[in-house]
């Protein structure tokens, strides 16, 4: 394969159509304009010929792309088209770079192993935001380009072959789930204190397009909690959240109640602060999450790392939760900057 330097040549303007300029071309119009008329990397078109001749350019120093090389703009378009899956819109190339934006709100999924493989191909660059985190609608989540002005065709083909079985980047949209909520605590059930948990959780689900179908208040009693969970599922709840009662105090019975209701536990406990006392279980196909009290007080907690993934239909395993330990320590910044921070990443 030829090197880039070997395909540089000087050609008459009329023969340069389809070739790439190796340098900027300046135009001077006395008293009116002085500046760049054509930028390095511009692909010469037939419409350019008259303009180039008018500014005195009869010969051009160009790259001939007929020799197995691809221009940076075409390369970026082909890479982006190969790696981008559902939920992504592509920008137009700008100086050889294309960004990918979220078409809708959801969870960003990156195949990190194949991302590493792609970036190991010399002179190809693909950068992404962190996998498993929320992508707001319209937010840029990835960008790609090649390093030189042109690149060997075979390297772009290698990217396309790498993505032959599927894209590297997807956005999973949130599902508009009906969520049942069980709020535990005798002090709330008997009206001694006002429920502070429900409004916080309701707002978080509403922000994902979900709704709370019904909130049930129960005392610190396993049988009452089991009955509430079962009734909500019978009523059609597609997810159940149990708030409170998740610590190790004698009257904190929510984990036992979730198990007694038939919950198959994925994990009780998470290596995250805040959120260590989190539980994820399933009753049939219905996810049941036990939320510790920290969800009330912290803008970002285990809720924000796991529950949005469940809402997007992304299966969460015990191993996924174990891996949260690296990055799962919240620095407690004031004001909180989540998600523009290391928490959960």
* 343, 328 contact by CB (below 8 A): yes
Q: 264-268 and 88-90: which strand pairing?
A: unpaired
Which residue, chain included where needed, has tokens 């790439």? 20
Decide if pLDDT at 18 tops 90.
Answer: no
Residue 134 β-bridge partners: 107
CATH topology of domain 4-67: Molybdopterin biosynthesis moea protein, domain 2 (3.90.105)
Q: What CA–CA distance (Å, rounded) separates 169 from 88?
A: 8
Which residues of the chain are in CATH 3.90.105.10 domains? Answer: 4-67
**Residue 103 CB coordination number (10 Å):** 15
CATH 3.90.1170.30: which residues of the chain? Answer: 69-172
Tokens of 155: 């390297």
Tokens of 43: 């692909």
pLDDT higher than 70, residue 148: yes
Q: Are 144 and 60 spatial neighbours (Cβ–Cβ below 8 Å)?
A: no
What does the pLDDT read at residue 24?
A: 82
Q: Which residues pair with 274 in a beta bridge?
A: none
- Gap between the Cα atoms of 114 and 179, Å rounded: 35
Its CATH class, for the domain covering 69-172, is: alpha beta
| DSSP state at residue 292 | P
Instruction: Convert 80-100 to b/e letters by CB count within 10 Å (16 or more is b).
Output: bebbbbebbebeebeebbbbb
Q: CB of 81 within 8 A of CB of 49?
A: no
pLDDT given for residue 250 in this prediction: 61
305: pLDDT strictly greater than 90: yes
Pairing label, strands 286-291, 239-243 = parallel
Please give the share of the chain, as a percent, with pLDDT higher than 70.
Answer: 96
**Residue range 305-332: mean pLDDT, rounded:** 97
The number of CA neighbours under 13 Å toward the Cβ of 146 is 24
**Which pair of structure tokens corresponds to residue 292?**
């510790």
- Tell me the C-alpha distance between 74 and 223, whole Å: 64
Q: Which residues pair with 69 in a beta bridge?
A: 152
Residue 188: CB atoms within 10 A of its CB come to 21
| Stretch(es) of the chain classified as CATH 3.40.980.10 | 178-325
Q: What is the pTM of this model?
A: 0.86
For residue 228, report the phi and psi dihedrals to the nearest 5 degrees. Answer: -65, -45
pLDDT at 63: 75
- Asked if the model's pLDDT at residue 7 lies above 70, the reply is no
Q: What is the pLDDT of residues 41-80, one digit of tens each?
A: 888 999 999 999 999 999 998 877 767 888 898 999 999 9
* CATH 3.90.1150.10, domain 178-325, yes or no: no
């Amino acid at each position: 394969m030829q090197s880039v330097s070997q395909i540089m040549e000087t050609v008459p303007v009329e023969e340069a159509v389809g070739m790439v300029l190796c340098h900027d071309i300046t135009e001077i119009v006395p008293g009116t304009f002085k500046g760049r008329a054509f930028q390095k990397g511009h692909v010469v078109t037939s419409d350019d010929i008259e303009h180039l001749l008018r500014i005195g350019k009869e010969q051009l120093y160009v790259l001939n792309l007929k020799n197995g090389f691809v221009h940076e703009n075409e390369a970026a378009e082909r890479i982006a088209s190969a790696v981008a899956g559902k939920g992504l819109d592509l920008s137009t190339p700008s100086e050889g770079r294309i960004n990918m934006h979220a078409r809708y709100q959801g969870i960003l999924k990156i195949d990190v192993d194949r991302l590493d493989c792609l970036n190991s191909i010399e002179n190809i660059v693909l950068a992404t935001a962190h996998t498993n985190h929320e992508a707001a609608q319209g937010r840029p989540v990835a960008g790609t380009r090649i390093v030189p002005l042109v690149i060997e065709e075979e390297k772009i083909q290698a990217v396309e072959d790498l993505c032959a079985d599927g894209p590297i980047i997807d956005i999973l949209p949130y599902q508009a789930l009906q969520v049942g909520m069980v709020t535990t605590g005798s002090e709330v059930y008997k009206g001694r204190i006002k429920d502070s948990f429900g409004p916080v959780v309701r707002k978080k689900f509403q922000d994902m397009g979900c709704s709370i179908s019904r909130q049930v208040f129960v005392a610190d009693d396993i049988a009452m909690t089991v009955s509430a969970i079962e009734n909500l599922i019978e009523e059609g709840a597609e997810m159940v959240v149990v708030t409170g009662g998740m610590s190790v105090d004698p009257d904190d019975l929510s984990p036992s109640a979730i198990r007694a209701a038939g919950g198959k536990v994925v994990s009780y406990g998470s290596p995250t602060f805040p959120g260590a006392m989190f539980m994820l279980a399933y009753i049939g196909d219905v996810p049941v999450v036990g939320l510790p009290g920290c969800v009330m007080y912290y803008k970002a907690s285990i809720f924000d790392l796991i529950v949005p993934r469940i809402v997007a239909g992304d299966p969460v395993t015990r191993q996924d939760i174990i891996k949260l330990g690296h990055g799962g320590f919240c620095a407690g910044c004031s004001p909180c900057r989540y998600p523009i921070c290391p928490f959960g990443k």
